[in-house]
Amino acid sequence: MPLIKNGVEVEDTWTFSEDVSNLPSSGCITVPLAQLTDYADTLLSRNQQIGVRLSPADDPHTLQPYLDRISLIEIDFPKYTDGRGYSQAQLLRRRLGYTGELRAVGHVLRDQILYMNRSGFDAYQTARADLANVVQALKEYSAFYQPAADGHSSVFSRRHTKA
């Protein structure tokens, strides 16, 4: 599946592994949240980078003790209609201060990517959207009413800031 990061297609060097008892000896691995918390010592002492994949019901606060030691957080959208990932992303970026890669995986469609970007995602694994479409989708709006994780000033405050 193509991976788009910061607006360009990049090679994906990560592998998702459901089960940590059978990890490949090399390469970057993401694991489910429960696996990370259960096997934190083993996983975080590996030579390779470690990442985590959140399911919609996962509480991002659980990641707090590990945030400075993980290099990738994937947030899974099993269905595009399940919007919990947007709150997880905002919490990670704005409340918990996570600054590493935040990747949307699963049912990631072109027309949701702007909302994802605003919520703090910077990478998208998407089956159908090609590079041009995603870049286009990110440019469809030039002003936003509310502040979010993307750092744009809200229209509410732009109205009262001298250019």
Write the CA distances from 54 to 6, 36, 73, 75, 104, integer angstroms.
21, 11, 7, 5, 10
- Under rule CB under 8 A, which residues in 77-106 are in contact with another protein? 80-84, 86-87, 90, 94-95
- On the 0-12 / 13-18 / 19+ scale of CB atoms within 10 A, 60 is buried
157 lies in the site for another protein, by CB under 8 A = yes
Of 9, 38, 68, 111, the one binding another protein by CB under 8 A = 111
156 lies in the site for another protein, by CB under 8 A = yes
16 lies in the site for another protein, by CB under 8 A = no
Write the CA distances from 138 to 1, 35, 59, 107, 148, integer angstroms.
20, 34, 28, 18, 15
Structure tokens at 1: 């599946």
Of 119, 122, 124, 125, the one binding another protein by CB under 8 A = 119
Q: Which amino acid is at 139?
A: K
Return the number of the residue (14 or 126) whose C-beta is nearest another protein: 126
- Under rule CB under 8 A, which residues in 38-67 are in contact with another protein? 56
Q: Could you tell me which stretch among 25-33, 34-42, 65-73, 134-142 binds another protein (CB under 8 A)?
A: 134-142
Contact 158, 145 (CB under 8 A): no
Number of CB atoms found within 10 A of residue 143's CB? 9
**Residue ranges that bind another protein, judged by CB under 8 A:** 56, 80-84, 86-87, 90, 94-95, 109, 111-112, 114-116, 118-119, 140-148, 154-160
